[in-house]
Amino acid sequence: MWKAYHLIKVSLAAAFTGIICCIGPLILFQFGIIGGVYAISFADFFYSDDGSIGAGAILLRLLALSIILFGIRSYNKKEECTLNTKKQKSINKILFGFILIVFTLSIFMTLDQFSSIYFDKYIVPQQQIELNIK
C-alpha cells in the first residue's frame, strides 16, 4: 500500500511542478483572483516570444525531474521484506522508476491538454474583453 501511495504522491508532485506555469494561472483565474490579461501574462512569462518553452518552463521541468529522481531514490526506504536479494531490489527500483515516469508524464500531458483547452475557451476571451474595455 505504501508503494502505491508513494507512486501517486511523487507523480502528482512532479507533474504539478512541471506544469505550474499553466495550471497556476488557470486556478487563480477560475477562483476570480486574477483576470484574463494577468493569467495570460503569467503563463507567457515561462515561454519565449515564438511560443516555445523558455528558461522558466525548463527550470520547472528540471525541478519536476529532480522530484522524480528523489522519489526513485527514496523508494526502498520502507522495505517490508528483508529476504529480497540485492538484484531483485534493483529490478524493483528500475520498474518503479519506469512506472513513475510513465504515470507522471500521463498526468503532465493531461494537465497540459486541459490547460490549453481552458485557456482557449475561457481565459483568452476574457483577456480580449478586458483589453477592449481599457
* pLDDT by 10s per residue, the chain, length 134: 567 888 899 999 999 999 998 899 999 999 999 999 999 888 888 888 787 888 889 999 999 999 999 998 887 655 555 566 777 778 888 898 999 999 999 999 999 999 999 999 999 999 999 988 65
> Residue 79 has what pLDDT?
55
> Residue 78 has what pLDDT?
57
CB 118 within 8 A of CB 26: yes
CA atoms within 13 A on the CB side of 16: 10
CB 71 within 8 A of CB 10: yes
Cell digits of residue 124: 483568452
> Residue 81 has what pLDDT?
58
> Residue 83 has what pLDDT?
62
- Specify the number of domains making up the chain: 1
Containing domain of residue 112, as a range?
A: 2-133
Q: How many CB atoms lie within 10 A of CB 98?
A: 11
